[in-house]
Amino acid sequence: MSDIVNLRGGGSAFVLDLSGETPVIVHWGADLGEAIPAVLSAGPVAHSALDDPHAQHLVPQASSGWRGRPALEGHRPGGRAFSAALVTTAARAIAPDGHEITLADAAAGLSLVVEFHLGQEGMLRIRSTLTNVGTDDYALQSLSTTLPTGLGAAEILDLTGRWCREQHPQRQSLRQGTWLREYRHGRPGHDSSLFTAVGTAGFGNRTGSVWATHFGFSGNRVTAVEKTPTGPALIGNAELLGSGEIVLAAGESYETPWTYASFSSRGLDGVTDTFHRWLRSRAQHPSGVRPVVLNTWEAVYFDHNLDSLVELADRAELLGVERFVLDDGWFRHRRNDKAGLGDWYVDEDVWPQGLTPLIDAVRSRGMQFGLWVEPEMVNEDSDVIRAHPDWVSGAGLGRTPVEWRYQQVLDLVNPDAFAYIFDRLDALLTDNAISYLKWDQNRDLTEMGHDGAPSAHEQTLAAYRLIDALRRAHPEVEIESCSSGGARVDLGILERTDRVWASDCNDALERQTIQRWTEAILPPELVGTHVGPTTSHTTARTHSLSFRAITAMFGHFGIEWDVRTLDESDLFELGEAVALYKKHRALIHSGRAVHADLVDPAYLLQGSVAQDGSEAIFSFVSVATSFDEVPGRAGFPGLNPDTSYEVKVVFPSATSPYGSRGNVSWIPDGFTATGRFLAEVGLPMPVLNPEQGVLIHLVETAGA
């Protein structure tokens, strides 16, 4: 076996030195080429320190002198084997882009297999499997994946939020110490960060070096950026295990979720590009057109009635909608959110003939039918919990967890509860022509327990199993992951679902930030983006239709508004937006996402550029008032420098019979410029009121 593993892809490299007792990470960063002529895995010996020089181990352990957060924590009865000394026993290539290293500690009775891949797009993926090869139990506390950052690392960027304000960025200087984010929601949670990035000073959308990781798991987790006096800043990700949650009997194993990591020397857009390319390369990635959705939630809430929903379907058809999704409120006892969760039978009082009349009406109007479900949850006020009170997950000890939206968690680790919920969903999908499930999950999983023992880990895997089993039984059905908006957005859930609902907030101003940062990792075709009501139901802000439509354009477009109430002018403009989305969705859903680094925080310029650079669509929006009278010029990033583009403002339309909705005609008809000109000189941007925007389309000119 060669001593050096040099995985390369997408302009980055992951280099390991296997010559010592344990694998050492020499480099994660820019591609170094094929041959690595010299390797310096270790540095000098510090004063008053270990006698051995410091090296950055793939599996940091106290046994090799590491005094930071260890990769592995756990013990045998009585605290024995509390500190493992795992050493390399084997290493092999397992794929053109992958490698597997086996480490073992015979005395502690542990074996660890670390698997890593670096794909063509630059995505580094790592996971580990720990096996108890001893004779008694091993209580696992934590098994994390830790990656070092590189030269010049100076700042941390991650995201945080709350309900209706998910994925907002926060930045800070990198200092000595640990920036620790712990998520104990039993789901990622509204405050969870889709990524943890460390970068060079002032790194931006298009500038600077960035080392970023994502943890692909939907349960409890911990992320740490750790800077000790010993070496570079490390980014670690692990599942956050409860007390006694994972006890490995002899021969049993624990596998970590994947950690996904991307290095970029060209700012955050490089990280985004890697994630988008990798996600798009998956076999299960949705490949067809992403249909225009109409979701009934903000249109009718729980007020279900066949006539008004058919009226809504009429309007939806007129607008060009392609998928009609009936949200919460269709099943037994569900007249509000206090009752019914778990009783997955169509409510006979509201729907005496079942859902068929509505489904027929929707399908006869040329639309697919989608249905909302929340399979992992129950109301205590439900037939199912009256019959099976023991199906509520909790700590035992004779009490149930505190309620959240009047609901509790169905204990999916209980095989009977699992079988019940599978059978109900299977029957619904078998008996009705349903093309799409909006799979919701509306509470944090506090005190998750099964039979009195912690079960957040098992519950997460059981939810995965449930979705997987339904997908196998109904492969034609698409599934959306929703979790009170965006509280479960991660690559674990996206292994088995087709899109996420980024937020319950349809306020376009908030959505500009929520979507920008959700789409830093997820390509727009995986992110639901809806045009909400004129006055937002969650913030009471009022926005023009064009701003709402432009904001929804960069995602999987939909409408969540009572379109029965629209006047002629709004109907016309919304119809235009739907048509525009249909025209440009292939580009938006396959292009490279680009974000300009504008100096004025009042404006955002972002776009999608065709992979071959032949076409692009940009939005320029105002998100605040500016100091300046005019926005000035903005450079368009990501275009081919030598390609000549015709530039055209395509929305809001200046040709509407209802009057032009803004100053959109500042670019002369037929204006053409090269990508280099557009990037370096830029274009003067229009004067916009706050919370207004324009869509600009660029296409390679014939014969260029």
- Residue 528 beta carbon to ligand DGJ: minimum distance, rounded to whole angstroms: 9
What gap in Å lies between CA 108 and CA 121, rounded to an integer?
A: 39
Closest to ligand DGJ by CB, 127 vs 334, is 334
Cα dist from 442 to 165, 375, 409, whole Å: 15, 10, 10
Q: Which residue number places its CB atom closest to ligand DGJ? A: 328
- Residue 341 beta carbon to ligand DGJ: minimum distance, rounded to whole angstroms: 9
The answer to whether residue 501 forms part of the interface with ligand DGJ (CB under 6 A) is yes
What distance lies between CA 672 and its chain's CA centroid?
37
Angle between helices 456-473 and 415-431 (to 10 degrees): 30
Give the interface segment with ligand DGJ, choosing from 75-83, 198-206, 409-417, 480-488 (CB under 6 A).
480-488
Binding residues for ligand DGJ restricted to 84-113, rule: CB under 6 A: none
Instruction: Find out whether 558 and 528 touch, Cβ atoms under 8 Å.
Output: yes
Joined tokens for residue 210: 């960035």
The answer to whether residue 297 forms part of the interface with ligand DGJ (CB under 6 A) is yes
The answer to whether residue 442 forms part of the interface with ligand DGJ (CB under 6 A) is yes
Q: Which of 440, 444, 490, 507 is catalytic?
A: 440
Give the interface segment with ligand DGJ, choosing from 450-458, 477-485, 569-577, 636-644 (CB under 6 A).
477-485
Determine the 3-state secondary structure of 305 from DSSP.
coil
Closest to ligand DGJ by CB, 254 vs 330, is 330
Closest to ligand DGJ by CB, 372 vs 391, is 372
First to last CA, the chain: 52
Closest to ligand DGJ by CB, 132 vs 484, is 484
Which residues touch 569 (CB under 8 Å, ≥6 apart)?
656, 658
- Residue 301 beta carbon to ligand DGJ: minimum distance, rounded to whole angstroms: 8
Buried b (16+ CB within 10 A) or exposed e, 59-97: bbbebbbbebbbbbbbbbeeeebeebbbbbeebeeeeeb
504 catalytically annotated: yes
Closest to ligand DGJ by CB, 328 vs 490, is 328
Scanning the structure block, which residue is given the tokens 């508004």?
Answer: 561
Give the interface segment with ligand DGJ, choosing from 78-86, 96-104, 303-311, 478-486 (CB under 6 A).
478-486
Binding-site member from 504, 507, 519, 615 for ligand DGJ (CB under 6 A): 504
**609 DSSP β-pair partners:** 592, 616
Kind of pairing, strands 556-559 and 527-531?
parallel
The answer to whether residue 328 forms part of the interface with ligand DGJ (CB under 6 A) is yes
- Residue 403 beta carbon to ligand DGJ: minimum distance, rounded to whole angstroms: 15
HEC profile for 22-59?
Answer: CCEEEEEEECCCCCCCCCCCECCCCCCCCCCCCECECC
Binding-site member from 166, 347, 440, 498 for ligand DGJ (CB under 6 A): 440
Binding-site member from 484, 518, 529, 653 for ligand DGJ (CB under 6 A): 484
Closest to ligand DGJ by CB, 324 vs 501, is 501
- Residue 444 beta carbon to ligand DGJ: minimum distance, rounded to whole angstroms: 14
What gap in Å lies between CA 561 and CA 319, rounded to an integer?
A: 12
Give the interface segment with ligand DGJ, choosing from 479-487, 570-578, 632-640, 680-688 (CB under 6 A).
479-487
Name the DSSP class of 599.
Answer: S
- Residue 392 beta carbon to ligand DGJ: minimum distance, rounded to whole angstroms: 19
What gap in Å lies between CA 37 and CA 20, rounded to an integer?
A: 18
Nearest CA among 582, 482, 574, 567 for reference residue 532: 574
- For the window 345-374, what string marks contact with ligand DGJ as x by the rule CB under 6 A? ---------------------------x--
- Residue 188 beta carbon to ligand DGJ: minimum distance, rounded to whole angstroms: 14
Residue 364: count of CB within 10 angstroms of its CB = 10
Which residues touch 419 (CB under 8 Å, ≥6 apart)?
none
Cis geometry, peptide bond prior to residue 652 (ω within 30 degrees of 0): yes
440 catalytically annotated: yes
Give the interface segment with ligand DGJ, choosing from 111-119, 168-176, 420-428, 481-489 (CB under 6 A).
481-489
- Residue 298 beta carbon to ligand DGJ: minimum distance, rounded to whole angstroms: 8
The answer to whether residue 444 forms part of the interface with ligand DGJ (CB under 6 A) is no
Residue 632: count of CB within 10 angstroms of its CB = 15
- Residue 554 beta carbon to ligand DGJ: minimum distance, rounded to whole angstroms: 19
What gap in Å lies between CA 19 and CA 25, rounded to an integer?
A: 11
Closest to ligand DGJ by CB, 482 vs 621, is 482
Instruction: Find out whether 441 and 497 touch, Cβ atoms under 8 Å.
Output: no
Number of helical (H) and strand (E) elements in the chain, helices listed first? 11, 39
Cis geometry, peptide bond prior to residue 169 (ω within 30 degrees of 0): no
* C-alpha torsion angle, residues 483, 485, 490, 494 (rounded to 10): 70
Closest to ligand DGJ by CB, 488 vs 589, is 488
Instruction: Find out whether 266 and 207 touch, Cβ atoms under 8 Å.
Output: yes
Closest to ligand DGJ by CB, 117 vs 488, is 488
Determine the 3-state secondary structure of 219 from DSSP.
coil
Binding residues for ligand DGJ, total number by CB under 6 A = 11
The maximal CA–CA distance of the chain, rounded, in angstroms, is: 81
The answer to whether residue 644 forms part of the interface with ligand DGJ (CB under 6 A) is no
**402 DSSP β-pair partners:** none
Instruction: Find out whether 249 and 132 touch, Cβ atoms under 8 Å.
Output: yes
Scanning the structure block, which residue is given the tokens 């913030």?
Answer: 539
Binding-site member from 74, 267, 401, 485 for ligand DGJ (CB under 6 A): 485
The answer to whether residue 331 forms part of the interface with ligand DGJ (CB under 6 A) is no
Closest to ligand DGJ by CB, 226 vs 504, is 504
The answer to whether residue 161 forms part of the interface with ligand DGJ (CB under 6 A) is no
- Residue 327 beta carbon to ligand DGJ: minimum distance, rounded to whole angstroms: 5
- Residue 404 beta carbon to ligand DGJ: minimum distance, rounded to whole angstroms: 12
Closest to ligand DGJ by CB, 485 vs 686, is 485
Kind of pairing, strands 87-95 and 72-75?
unpaired
- Residue 684 beta carbon to ligand DGJ: minimum distance, rounded to whole angstroms: 40
Binding-site member from 87, 482, 514, 678 for ligand DGJ (CB under 6 A): 482
Joined tokens for residue 51: 């006698």
The answer to whether residue 439 forms part of the interface with ligand DGJ (CB under 6 A) is no
Closest to ligand DGJ by CB, 203 vs 330, is 330
* Residues engaged in binding ligand DGJ (CB under 6 A): 297, 327-328, 372, 440, 442, 482, 484-485, 501, 504
Active-site residue list? 440, 504
